[in-house]
């Protein structure tokens, strides 16, 4: 298939440019450093050494950090995927070969996701070795499952960035769009329901005993929050990290996190492709 050739070329280019090596080293330092600090802090504070639940506690602690670092990596890797080649003129050469525009978009997504996947998996493998040495016990299945889910989160943000890259003509605007979306998810998203409640309550903060369902759903539509829900659905020990109840509707249950991740993986990429497909290069 033609898109596989594009993906292979993109992955090889990442190796030649040393982007893959740099990202892998960065994520190894992040994952191993976090694993070490998580084991060292209790000892510094005079608490007991990590116990048999240390792996789950580590994953719970890693959740917010991974949800910050991995999206940044995905956006940085993906935002120049197409618009960078358009600016340099190499995109016309690529499309002059027997590749359709769809092949190019899919190939770029797969190739750049491969870069993120290698960095994340190598980083988690190194962290697993550190945890195996530092902790009294190590839950390898849960740790490996969490690593795969983190790759999925990276793929989602690569898809978002490639969608921007496909739909825009300027590298700068693709970068601004990716950064703006990251800022929205990381710093703004959770405040939107608060602002809405403030407005509809006559510009006063309401005294709520429970969060409205629509506000919980809005929070879950953030892919970083959906990542936590998805992780809790396949690693039950992490369920305490998400505010779900047995009687909640299906769209507030943990497995719905996968639906949200699938939405962000497909829709921004499809919109970017549709614009790219109709653009005169």
Q: Dump pLDDT digits (tens) for 146-170.
A: 999 999 999 999 999 999 999 888 8
Residue 227 has pLDDT above 70, yes or no: yes
Q: Is 47 helix (H, G, I), strand (E, B) or coil?
A: coil
pLDDT the model gives residue 75: 93
Sign of the CA dihedral running 75, 117, 142, 49 = negative
Residues near 259 by beta carbon (within 8 Å), at least 6 away in sequence: 251
Domain that holds residue 82: 2-277
Average pLDDT (66-71) is 94
Residue 103 has pLDDT above 50, yes or no: yes
0.85 surpassed by pTM? yes
Q: Give tens-digit pLDDT for 168-185.
A: 888 888 888 888 989 999
Q: How many CB atoms lie within 10 A of CB 233?
A: 19
Total number of domains in the chain: 1
**Residue 52 banded pLDDT, cuts 50, 70, 90:** very low
Percentages helix, strand, coil for the chain (3-state, rounded to 5) are 80, 0, 20
Q: And the tokens for 16?
A: 């030649």
Residue 46 has pLDDT above 50, yes or no: no
The set of long-range contacts for 49-54, using a CB threshold of 8 Å and a minimum separation of 24, is 49/136, 50/134, 50/135, 50/136, 51/136, 51/137, 52/136, 52/137, 53/237, 54/131, 54/135, 54/136, 54/137, 54/138
Instruction: List the one residue out of 215, 59, 244 whose CA is nearest residue 146.
Output: 59
Task: Share the mean pLDDT of the chain.
Answer: 88
**Residue 85 banded pLDDT, cuts 50, 70, 90:** confident
Residue 189 has pLDDT above 90, yes or no: yes
Instruction: List the one residue out of 186, 149, 185, 175 whose CA is nearest residue 81.
Output: 175
Which whole-number Å values give the CA distances from 95 to 87, 100, 105, 112, in the listed order? 14, 7, 11, 18
Return d(Cα 75, Cα 144) in angstroms, integer.
Answer: 23
Contact 101, 95 (CB under 8 A): yes
Q: What is the DSSP string of 92-112?
A: HHHHHSS--HHHHHHHHHHHH
Q: How many CB atoms lie within 10 A of CB 192?
A: 14
User: Quick one: what percent of the chain has pLDDT higher than 90?
Assistant: 49
Q: And the tokens for 124?
A: 């988690």
Average pLDDT (93-114) is 88
Average pLDDT (212-229) is 93
Return d(Cα 221, Cα 150) in angstroms, integer.
Answer: 17
Q: How many CB atoms lie within 10 A of CB 32?
A: 19
């Amino acid at each position: 298939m033609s898109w596989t050739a594009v993906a292979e070329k993109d992955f090889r280019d990442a190796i030649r440019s040393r982007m893959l090596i740099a990202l892998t080293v960065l994520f190894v330092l992040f994952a191993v450093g976090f694993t070490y600090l998580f084991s060292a802090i209790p000892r510094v504070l005079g608490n007991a050494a990590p116990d048999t639940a240390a792996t789950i506690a580590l994953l719970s602690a890693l959740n917010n950090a991974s949800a910050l670092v991995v999206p940044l990596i995905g956006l940085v890797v993906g935002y120049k995927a197409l618009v960078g080649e358009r600016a340099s003129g190499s995109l016309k050469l690529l499309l002059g070969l027997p590749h359709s525009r769809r092949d190019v978009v899919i190939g770029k997504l797969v190739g750049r996701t491969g870069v993120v996947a290698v960095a994340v998996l190598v980083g988690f493998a190194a962290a697993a070795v550190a945890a195996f040495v530092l902790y009294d016990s190590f839950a390898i299945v849960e740790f490996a499952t969490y690593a795969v889910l983190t790759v999925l989160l990276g793929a989602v943000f690569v898809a978002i960035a490639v969608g921007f890259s496909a739909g825009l003509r300027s590298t700068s605007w693709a970068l601004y769009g990716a950064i703006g979306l990251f800022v929205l998810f990381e710093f703004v998203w959770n405040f939107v329901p608060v602002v809405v409640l403030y407005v509809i309550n006559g510009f006063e903060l309401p005294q709520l005993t429970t969060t409205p369902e629509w506000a919980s759903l809005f929070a879950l539509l953030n892919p970083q929050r959906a990542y936590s829900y998805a992780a809790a659905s396949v690693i039950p020990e992490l369920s305490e990290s998400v505010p779900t109840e047995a009687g909640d509707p299906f769209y507030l249950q943990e497995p719905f996190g996968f639906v949200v991740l699938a939405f962000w993986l497909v829709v921004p990429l499809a919109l970017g492709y549709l614009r790219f497909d109709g653009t005169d290069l």
